[in-house]
Structure 1
């Protein structure tokens, strides 16, 4: 199995690309964020925060699914980022993923943006 991916070969895979843009870390999860793949996102989020990057931008345009475990990973990262003076900005949510945030009320605690570019503007 590839480094940075988890789950079965056909479904449930998640890969996370990380890049630095100015003072922000931009993470792009691709695939499904769920119980089986949550650690694949949690680890780079925590590395970014531990490395002093508390402003996190997640490009969610390639995220196909997010369950409650995935949501909890993002909520945990939000708390840690805010403790470091930053925050978590979500960009490009697909409707199926945005619905999870809407149903749970989590959309109220994240900065939501249409694009990564708008999320990077302070």
Structure 2
């Protein structure tokens, strides 16, 4: 399998699926389906300034983000999980915007991987 990726590191995915292409395919499709929906929810909750819901969404996404090896998002998400209620709204917006940008790049990586391999 060819991994032409810049944002995701597929090593955990490969290890957990024991290199089984069918399982890898299932996880890639799941990522491609769930993450865009969660990005939209993040955007909506940012507009509403619903800090608690933003925290909850990021917390829900965290295992998948780690599973797909998007390690540069681990620290910002951890920070948002802990400081979501005290962080200035501008900083919260900036951090969430960074997360969304990286997630969109990861979606492109997953799409390309699916296109090239399945």
Q: TM-score range by the shorter chain?
A: under 0.3
The normalised TM-score by structure 1 is 0.27
In terms of fraction of residues, the more strand-rich structure is: 1
**Structure number having the greater helix percentage:** 2
Give the number of the structure with larger relative contact order, counting CA–CA contacts within 8 Å between residues 6 or more apart: 2
Instruction: Report which of the two structures shows the higher radius of gyration computed on alpha carbons.
Output: 2
TM-score w.r.t. length of structure 2: 0.28
